[in-house]
Amino acid sequence: MINYNYLKGEKMKQINFKKTILILPLILLFISGCKPSCNQDKLPDYDILNEEAFFEFCIPYSAELAGEVRTIVPNADFLEESSGLIDCDPEKEILVLIDLDTPEKAMCELTNLDYVEKIAVSVGE
H-run or E-run covering 28: helix 17-32
Per-residue pLDDT tens over the stretch 16-61: 445 444 454 544 444 444 455 887 777 776 665 566 788 999 999 9
List of residues 6+ apart from 124 with CB closer than 8 A: 50, 52, 53, 54
Q: How many CB atoms lie within 10 A of CB 10?
A: 8
**Each residue of 65-92: pLDDT tens digit?**
999 999 999 999 999 989 998 999 999 9
Q: Does residue 44 share a domain with residue 20? A: no
The total domain count for the chain is 2
CA distance 47 to 115: 25
Q: What is the CATH number of the domain that holds 108?
A: 3.30.70
Range of the domain at 112: 40-122
